[in-house]
Amino acid sequence: MAKQYGPTDIKESALDLIGNTPLIALDRIWSGPGRILAKCEFMNPGASIKDRSSLSMIKRALNSGQLKPNGPIVEVTSGNQGCGLAVVSAVLGHPLTLTMSAGNSPQRASMMRALGANVVLAPQVEGKPGNVTLADVTQAENLGLKLVEDTGAYYVNQFNNDDNSKAHEEATGPEIWRQTGGRIDAFLATVGTAGTFAGVSRYLKKQNKDIVCVVVEPAGAEVIKGDPVTKPLHLLQGSGYGKVPQLFKFDTMDSTLGVSDEEAVHYKELLGSKEGLYLGYTSGANVAAAVKLLQSGKLPKDAWVVTLLNDSGLKYPADV
C-alpha cells in the first residue's frame, strides 16, 4: 500500500520569497491615539524592499526581449537594489555587475558579492563613509554607463525604469489594502528612486482618494517639499539625493515631512529595543514621520497610518 502524505508547501526558488511581507503593528513605540502599521520589507530574501522592483524590472525586460536569457546585467546602486538584483540574477542565471559609491555601507557590497555579483566601487568625490551625495551617485552612474558601453550589457536604470514603480502598484499597494481590510488613513515613505512611493500611492489613491500620502525626506535635503538643499550629507542611504526623481509624480502626494538624522537614529533604536526589530535608518525615519503625522492632529484620532520597514540593520556599520 502506497504511503499517504499530507499537503506540501515548498517554494521553488528565492524568487517565490519576494513580496507578501507581513504587516506589523508598532504598538510598543506608539500606543495611540491612532495606530502605526508597518510592512516588514526586510523579510524579503535580499533583506530589503528593493527585491520587489528587482524582480519586476528583470522579468519585464526578459518578456520584452530587452534582456536575453542568461544575458549580462549592469546596474548602479546604493546597495539594496543591487542585493535584490543579485538575488534575482543568481536564480535566473544572469552575470551581474554592480557599481556603487565607496561611501555606501561595505556590508551591502559584501552581501552582493556573496550572491555572485561583481561589485565595482566608485571613489567618493564629495561625501564621506555613510553619507553619500548626488555627486557620489553620479560618479557611480558614470562608471556603470561606461561598463554598459564597453560590454553591451542590459542596463536596469532603476531611477528611470517605469517597471520599478509598477512592482509596487501591482503588489505592494494591493497587499497593504488587503492586509488593512481597506482601513487606511495615511501612507508614508522615504523616497530614493520614488518607485515605491509612486506605485503604492497610485494604487491606494485609486481605492480611496482621501488616503493621505506623505513623502518622508531627510531634514536639509527636502527638494520634493521645494526647499533648497542645506544638508546633502545625511544618514538616509538610498534616499534624499537632492533632486526630484524622474519616477516621482506630485499628483499622488498630499504633503511632505522632514526627519533629522537624530530622529531617524532615535526611532531606529526604538524599533530594536521596543519592537525587537533591527532595521536601517530609513525605517527609523519612516516611523519618526508616522509619529509626527499622528501628533499633528491632521488625521482622525483613530487613524491607521501605514509605512515601510525598508531594510535590515545588518546592512549598516554598527557606528556611523
How much is the pTM? 0.94
Report the candidate in 114, 116, 136, 102 with the shortest Cα–Cα distance to residue 72: 116
The distance from CA 255 to its chain's CA centroid, rounded to whole angstroms, is 19
Q: Look up residue 105 and give its three cell numbers.
A: 555601507
Distance CA 281, CA 187 (A): 18
Distance CA 198, CA 207 (A): 15
Q: What is the DSSP letter of 128?
A: B
Going 275 to 80 to 22 to 88, the CA torsion angle's sign is: negative
Q: Pick the more confident residue, 134 or 256.
A: 256
SS3 225: coil
pLDDT above 80 for 319 = no
Tell me the β-bridge partners of 213: 187
Phi and psi dihedrals of 215, rounded to 5?
-85, 135
Q: Which residues of 215-228 are buried (b: 16+ CB within 10 A; e: fewer)?
A: bbbbbbbbbbeeee
End-to-end CA distance of the chain: give it in Å, rounded.
64
Predicted local distance difference test score (pLDDT) of residue 269 = 98
The string of pLDDT tens digits covering residues 187-229 is 999 999 999 999 999 999 999 999 999 999 999 999 999 999 9
Task: For residues 102-109, give the mean pLDDT.
Answer: 90
Task: For residues 250-261, give the mean pLDDT.
Answer: 98
133 contacts 122 by C-beta, under 8 angstroms: no
Predicted local distance difference test score (pLDDT) of residue 232 = 87
Task: For residues 112-136, give the mean pLDDT.
Answer: 89
pLDDT band at 320 (very low <50, low <70, confident <90, very high): low
> Taking all residues of the chain, what is their mean pLDDT, rounded to a whole number?
95
Tell me the β-bridge partners of 305: 36, 186
The string of pLDDT tens digits covering residues 73-100 is 999 998 999 999 999 999 999 999 999 9
Residue 42, CA atoms < 13 Å, CB-side half-sphere = 20
Tell me the β-bridge partners of 215: 189, 256
Give the chain's domains with CATH numbers. Answer: 14-44+171-315 (3.40.50.1100), 50-158 (3.40.50.1100)
Q: Look up residue 24 and give its three cell numbers.
A: 506589523
Distance CA 13, CA 17 (A): 7
Q: Look up residue 50 and give its three cell numbers.
A: 528593493
pLDDT above 90 for 241 = no
Which runs of E-coded beta strand occur in the chain?
23-25, 35-40, 73-76, 96-101, 118-122, 154-155, 186-190, 212-218, 255-259, 304-309
Q: Look up residue 248 and give its three cell numbers.
A: 516621482
pLDDT band at 157 (very low <50, low <70, confident <90, very high): very high
